[in-house]
Amino acid sequence: MRIDPVVRRLVMAVFAGTLAACGGGEPEPAPPDEVGLTRLEVLGKRLFFDASLSVPPGQSCASCHDPALAFSGNNGTTAGVALGADGRSLGLRNTPTAMYARFAPAFDMEDTDGGSIPVGGQFLDGRAASLEIQAAQPFFAPDEMNNPSAAALTTKVAVASYAELFREEWGALVFENPDATMKAIAASIAAFERTERFAPFSSKFDHVGAGLAQYSALEQRGLDLFLDPEKGNCAACHVANPASRNPADSLFTDYTYDNLGVPRNARIPANADPAFFDLGLCGPRRSAPGGDETLCGAFKVPTLRNVGKRVALMHNGYFTRLRDAVAFYATRDTDPARWYPGGVPFDDLPPGYHANVNRSEAPYDRNPGDAPRLDDAEIDAIVAFLGTLTDGYGAPLAAQAKSPARRNGARATGRP
């Protein structure tokens, strides 16, 4: 059963009050959801869920990264992109899950057989090098938590219920310096995001891998199609290694970037301007690495762990149903009229960048009228398999460090 966080907090407060009233010198027991966390992680957790840290108050990290939705969600809106603290502003992008985000390496250009390609980073365009750098940003984004300055945020944290704990961890004078406070906030949150809660490896997929569960026939068929280079070819980017005993070898992403030509989401306010395009790796939030315009329109390959919990899919949240997102892969090129108004493909990219879209590897590499790589029954099987990637099927399984990456040099972006 999921306990509403507000109710839970109330119950905790009453519980703590009762203890205080008893007057015993006993230390307060840790709330059940803080058992096993270090002081630093507890701080991170309280900051992550603190809805007093937005302007106006009411939004926390968890509003968009909802634990009930595998730390994703869009703060209640169905527009496909996140709704800000002001209750009106819609951002540009769909909220990714914060789960398994800690495995992303820092953004870098990596050499492969196919040339130098961008890899890693936080955000869908990789513009934050680490969880720490990422965590500081939502507090000040006008379409997110909307604080005017580090000083204003510091004032609020300095009077929070966990302010004393914060001083114990970060020094008695920490609140006198907003920059130091910001660093401490970001480091605390990042520490929380590195806990097992964000990477439990407790899905059916993990349990099958450990020999503790078995796929249904449909799920097994879906996995085979997912891996088959001639069929779904999904694992070319959403890397999985079911034979490995280490679940961290199956993060369902290699943190590379690709351009899928996802249809334009007309529910995004910025898209009312026909001249506006969200081009991911080449802007508007960053500039293209090395000025390489072939990267325009590419976004980071997301993990597919917990994809069944997504309220919207792809960077712009165009899809609201997982099956549609998978069907898009199969029929984008064979039946473009199904996805694009008037059947003219790639309506969310300026014409000059249409050539950046990946058309070279399965499940693409088809033409209008061809048989798709995946038929309807095969799409259903892949969707059934993706359902096995939801955490909470069983107990968390320990993951070791990720095995060294082997990259697929044939990636569309960064091709020579």
Q: Which residues are near ligand HEC by CB under 6 A?
A: 48, 59, 61, 63-65, 75, 82, 84, 91, 93, 95-96, 98, 101, 122-125, 131, 134-135, 138-139, 144-145, 189, 232-234, 236-238, 258, 260, 262, 285, 299, 301-302, 304, 307, 310, 313-315, 322, 325-326, 329, 358, 361, 363, 382
Distance CA 53, CA 48 (A): 9
Smallest separation (angstroms) from ligand HEC to the CB of 271: 14
Residue with Cβ nearer ligand HEC (221 or 238) = 238
Report the residue number, 81 or 208, with the smaller CB distance to ligand HEC: 81
For ligand HEC, the closer of residues 95 and 202 by Cβ is: 95
CA distances from 233 to 241, 330, 365 (A): 13, 11, 12
The dihedral of CA 402, 405, 411, 413: what is its sign?
A: positive
Tell me the closest approach of the beta carbon of residue 18 to ligand HEC, in angstroms. 31
Cβ proximity to ligand HEC, 174 vs 325, nearer residue: 325
Q: Which of 35, 80, 13, 58 is nearest to 266 (CA)?
A: 80
The distance of closest approach from Cβ of residue 80 to ligand HEC in the complex, given in angstroms and rounded to an integer, is: 10
* Minimum CB–partner distance for residue 306 and ligand HEC (Å): 9
Cis peptide leading into 284, omega within 30 of 0? yes
Q: CB of 154: closest distance to ligand HEC in angstroms? A: 14
* Backbone CA torsion sign across 162, 164, 170, 175: positive
Identity of the residue, 84 or 336, whose beta carbon is nearer to ligand HEC in the bound complex: 84
Residue closer to ligand HEC by CB (options 174, 237) is 237
Non-local CB neighbours of 43 within 8 Å, separated by 6+ positions: 162, 165, 166, 169, 188, 191, 192
What's the min distance (Å) between Cβ of 30 and ligand HEC? 22
Contact 248, 399 (CB under 8 A): yes
Is residue 221 within 8 Å of 381, Cβ to Cβ?
A: yes
Nearer to ligand HEC, 125 or 206 (CB): 125
Compute the least distance from the CB of residue 174 to ligand HEC, in Å. 18
Rounded to a whole number of angstroms, the minimum distance from the CB of residue 327 to ligand HEC is 10
Q: Least distance from C-beta 25 to ligand HEC, angstroms?
A: 36
Q: Which is nearer to ligand HEC, 93 or 197 (CB)?
A: 93
The residue behind tokens 């693409």 is: 364
Position of tokens 């996805």? 339
Burial of 80 (0-12, 13-18, 19+ CB in 10 A): buried
Complex with ligand HEC: residue 11 or 161, whichever CB lies closer = 161
Smallest CA-to-CA distance from 72 within 236, 293, 313 is with 313
In whole angstroms, the minimum distance from the beta carbon of 254 to ligand HEC comes to 9
**CA 340 – CA 393 distance, rounded (Å):** 37
* CA angle (232 as vertex; 227, 234 as ends), nearest 5: 60
Closer to ligand HEC by CB, 95 or 203: give it. Answer: 95
User: How many angstroms separate the CA atoms of 214 and 224, rounded?
Assistant: 14
Written as six digits, the tokens of 265 are 């989401």
- Round to whole Å and give the CA distance between 313 and 158: 37
**CA dist 370 to 137, 217, 331, 375, Å?**
46, 28, 9, 12
